[in-house]
Chain A
């Protein structure tokens, strides 16, 4: 990474983690759309040109209805989350001088790694150096966004392997010489259940009575309350092929401090809305359209088998980043610019 003399130089890495096709790149692409749509205290800006370009380009692609191509090389992006400036504050002993100065806006730098998902598995094709680089990045990062792909878990039941394999290696590297710690990793972990818009995910949540609707939401989208997200995660593990829900929970408990794990139920593309009615319709909400049938004729290698049907309405894609940013920010002794 290049040294950046700028004041907004991100000093904290957030590493993304997830099986191939779990939706990492799409999540990043939907981030800026989410930030544009949502009025909140945080903004996201690119810390360098390629990162700014990425935000713009990928979100445009997504708005056009296309999914990003599968990631082939490790990409890293550096962004800054900029919060709302704090209200002016009187300082003691300041008898002279001008009017009280506004406190600077909180800034959280994030350096995001978007690796090809293949790196996390034990694929023969993946080089040892790439795996090493990834692990180094995980070691250096303070926050991890783990994308748990329930669709993959439904179909293959191996989404958990991707978490576990890397966790073990990470723990080996960090905790090896650490005798006095509590035996837990120093990272904050945002577990993102992706593809909430998918029928099977939504129905699992529905069956468990985990769906609510925000009365202020003009679209009436179903949602899972943050405190229920962990339950949905457990349920999804239980109904999966491998059914190793216990393992997942144990692994997470084993390696992370309880207050440093949080679950998010996310969807990068969100639910389909009929452009005329513009409210969620439980009879017709699927927002993905297959491009081609199984044989994939006429598809470029790496291109998605799906396109997005209607407008993109990202769900909970920004919240994990903001939560991680806040974690870093709050852990700073003088939380101004980090």
Chain B
């Protein structure tokens, strides 16, 4: 009996399984001491190699006899049945060296059925181990990604995936990845690995751990296709997450309420009107700057813009908008605020509106058209803006600034958040103030600066929990 042996069995098997596509099969028929064992390997719809085994012991095959003659039709049928359907498959026969036992007859029948199949004599191999190794060594048919959240500059959260292992990666492949975690609930942060089938993500695994908020380095090792071991330094082992995908995704808030990276807070204050009101407005701004500077150390830039009333008097032209501080440190901004507090209210000028539109134009101009990071405009005042043209009893802005248009530009700016504190309560604050307040302005008399800051996404509300890790960009 000649046994073709160009390549050793492990290599030949690995080669054959690797070449398996979605429809093919590799069948290994082992004739060993325990009977005939058949291993059928194919790929599932995600490209995973899978293996089903079946064993028929010799006594069952022999049906009470101790051997067959080669002409035993019944014996031949039983052997072929044990080998199963071999059509269209790459077939390997693995058998011990010929020794005259029923094995020899069985292999002869099998060779007759599949003459092209390769025959290996495998004294020392355990076929099951070989197959396990082939499966573990199988390269990835699809890349493996880690599910992450991306926080947009405005805090919007978007599910995204970043590659862990590329197509073709094999077991033992180790990758490290920087990521960030936000506070999570008791079940922890979910590290979900997905692969892709065409365009659709297919969940490979979800593991979870209670990870402290902050930056971390994740180490991921491809143990085999379908099994990724992840670890984070200083964090207890990740375990199987019992939450399902839908549950996790629905727990993601629309917006991240906590600032990521630096924050530019622009405080605009109306300095005309009753002195007591102006004082109170400046007081609120002081509170806001103080609160945020302690919560966002080294991450807060502050600008301070003061605006008053138009004069509509040729003898007393409007001064430029007072930019008391621009992207200054909180300490510097508080100094500038002191100057405004000392100056107090300006009683002069048009009584029924203020230069809100000029302020918006100045802020818009200073922010420029280039992208800036997270920016918040907090406007504190009372009066409506002047319209750009005759439209009400309120005189038009002499510079023809269009508050609505300017506000739209600011609203549409990536990373921009608006908030306002108005002397007048909600309904009476008017259209412009509703928009300045990002929906509704806070009322000067009732505002809680911390709550407002949280609503504007300047600080985290205590109850926001994020179930996935975030990207670090």
Per-position contact with A for B58-92: 1 when CB-CB < 8 Å, else 0?
Answer: 00000000000000000000000000000000000
Residues in A whose Cβ lies below 8 Å from that of B398: 284
Q: Are B314 and A286 in contact (CB under 8 A)?
A: no
- The minimal Cβ–Cβ distance linking A214 to chain B, given in whole angstroms, is 21
- The minimal Cβ–Cβ distance linking A278 to chain B, given in whole angstroms, is 13
Given contacts A275-B314, A283-B388, contact A291 B351 (CB under 8 A): yes
Residues in B whose Cβ lies below 8 Å from that of A20: none
Selected contact of B389 from candidates A284, A292, A309, CB within 8 Å: A284
Q: Are B390 and A282 in contact (CB under 8 A)?
A: yes
Q: Are A199 and B393 in contact (CB under 8 A)?
A: yes
A247 at the B interface (CB under 8 A): no
User: Of residues 374 to 406 in B, which have CB atoms within 8 Å of A's CB atoms?
Assistant: 388-390, 392-393, 395-396, 398, 400
User: Of residues 330 to 360 in B, which have CB atoms within 8 Å of A's CB atoms?
Assistant: 350-352
How big is chain B's contact interface, by range?
Answer: 10 to 19
Residues in B whose Cβ lies below 8 Å from that of A290: 350-352
Residues in B whose Cβ lies below 8 Å from that of A310: 314
Please, which residue of chain B has its CB at the minimum distance from the CB of A200? Answer: B393
Please, which residue of chain A has its CB at the minimum distance from the CB of B388? Answer: A283
Residues in B whose Cβ lies below 8 Å from that of A285: 390
How big is chain A's contact interface, by range?
Answer: 10 to 19
B167 at the A interface (CB under 8 A): no
Report the bound CA distance from A284 to B400 in whole Å.
Answer: 9
Q: Are B388 and A309 in contact (CB under 8 A)?
A: no
Please, which residue of chain B has its CB at the minimum distance from the CB of A293? Answer: B351
Given contacts A309-B312, A309-B395, contact A283 B390 (CB under 8 A): yes
A289 at the B interface (CB under 8 A): yes
Residues in B whose Cβ lies below 8 Å from that of A284: 389-390, 395-396, 398, 400
Selected contact of B395 from candidates A275, A282, A286, A291, CB within 8 Å: A286
Please, which residue of chain B has its CB at the minimum distance from the CB of A198? Answer: B393
Report the bound CA distance from A284 to B399 in whole Å.
Answer: 11
Report the bound CA distance from A199 to B352 in whole Å.
Answer: 17
Please, which residue of chain A has its CB at the minimum distance from the CB of B391? Answer: A199
- The minimal Cβ–Cβ distance linking B395 to chain A, given in whole angstroms, is 5
Residues in A whose Cβ lies below 8 Å from that of B313: 289, 309
Report the bound CA distance from A283 to B400 in whole Å.
Answer: 9
Q: Are A199 and B314 in contact (CB under 8 A)?
A: no
Per-position contact with B for A254-288: 1 when CB-CB < 8 Å, else 0?
Answer: 00000000000000000000010000001111100
Q: Which of B388, B395, B396 has the most CB of A within 10 A?
A: B395
Q: Hey, which bits of chain A sit against chain B, CB under 8 A?
A: 199, 275, 282-286, 289-293, 309-310
User: Can you offer 22 A-B residue contacts whose CB atoms are under 8 A?
Assistant: A199-B390, A199-B392, A199-B393, A275-B314, A282-B390, A283-B388, A283-B389, A283-B390, A283-B396, A283-B400, A284-B389, A284-B390, A284-B395, A284-B398, A286-B390, A286-B395, A289-B312, A290-B350, A290-B352, A293-B352, A309-B312, A309-B395
| Contacts beyond the supplied A283-B388, A284-B395, A285-B390: 18 A-B pairs with Cβ under 8 Å | A199-B390, A199-B393, A275-B314, A283-B390, A283-B396, A284-B390, A284-B396, A286-B390, A286-B396, A289-B312, A289-B395, A290-B350, A290-B351, A292-B351, A293-B351, A309-B312, A309-B313, A309-B395
**Top 10 A-B residue pairs of the complex, sorted by shortest distance between their CB atoms:** A283-B389, A293-B351, A284-B396, A289-B312, A309-B312, A292-B351, A286-B395, A290-B351, A199-B390, A293-B352
